[in-house]
Chains A and B, each alone.
Chain A
Amino acid sequence: MPILTRWFVKSAFVYFFAALAVALILALQTPLHLAPAIGSLMPVYIHLFMVGWVAQFIFGVVYWMFPKYSKDKPRGSDGLGWATYVLINVGLILRAIGEPLNAQQAQSIWGGLLAISSILQWLGGMAFVANTWRRVK
């Protein structure tokens, strides 16, 4: 298993736990009368789960198992692979921080954090598509 796959898959497990921890907090909101602002964590939960866990696990396995691009570059561009990992993770962490803060104070500096997060995650997704496309054969 290549080192990048190990990073993808182990990070995915961390997000799996983090997503379910956020889901637990959301579930405790009503019985413990937590602040209504807790509800702003719903999109964080969904994206920690779907991007951090599901997509990232898939990215790692695809990078490992899909047909080799060539003898010299069996996994395509290592640079694009690592770019995917870094951009997705930095973007997702910025979102997890920025989303609840932006809900408290919309269109502030925290909004800028979400904008940066959106660009980083988008670039990460495009890097994955570009590197994987050539290995579908």
Chain B
Amino acid sequence: MPHLTHWFIRSALVDLALGFTFGALMLFNKGVLVSVWIWRLLPLHVELVLLGWTVQLTMGVAFWILPRFGLSRGNERVAWVAFVLINAGVWIVGIGPTLGAPAFITVIGRLAEAGSAVAFAVHAWPRVRPLGA
């Protein structure tokens, strides 16, 4: 596995562990009430499991296995940008509402996530081609 794939997948596993933890806390709390505050973890839970886990794992595996240009995987720098932006976005969007931050904080997080999507597409687009082409 390439270095960036390690980062993507290990980060995805951390987000899976945290997302499952917050989800389990909310489900436990639904059955046996501990504190109403626990419901504020919902946005963070959703961001961690949808984007932090599922999307990041997909990006990591795609970076690893999409067709290469000889030994090169093309523009790796922009893929690193995608990694940084998706992680920044997940945490900003997830923590903002949990801590009662103003709405524009969520907007900033969403911009980071959208930027990650664009950056990863810029990286991967040329690699989506027939083998040997």
A→B interface (CB under 8 Å): 50, 54-55, 58, 67, 95, 98, 102, 107, 110-115, 117-119, 121-122, 125-126, 128-129, 132-133, 136-137
Contact = CB atoms under 8 A, between A and B. Distances in A.
A72 B33 CA distance: 46
A136 B54 CA distance: 16
Interface string B3-26: 001100110010011001101110
Contact of B27 (A67, A95, A137): A95
Contact of B31 (A111, A122, A129): A111
B54 A117 contact: no
Contacts of B31: 98, 102, 107, 110-115, 117-118
B8 to A, nearest CB: 9
A134 B21 CA distance: 20
A114 B1 contact: no
Given A50-B50, A114-B31, A121-B20, 19 more contacts: A55-B53, A95-B27, A102-B31, A110-B31, A112-B32, A113-B31, A115-B27, A117-B27, A118-B31, A121-B27, A122-B20, A122-B23, A125-B16, A125-B17, A126-B17, A128-B16, A133-B10, A137-B1, A137-B6
A136 B24 contact: no
B46 to A, nearest CB: 10
7 contacts: A98-B31, A102-B30, A113-B31, A114-B31, A115-B32, A117-B27, A133-B13
B32 A107 contact: yes
A58 B32 contact: no
Given A114-B28, A125-B16, A136 B9 contact: yes
Most buried by B among A122, A132, A133: A122
A95 B30 CA distance: 11
Nearest to A128: B16
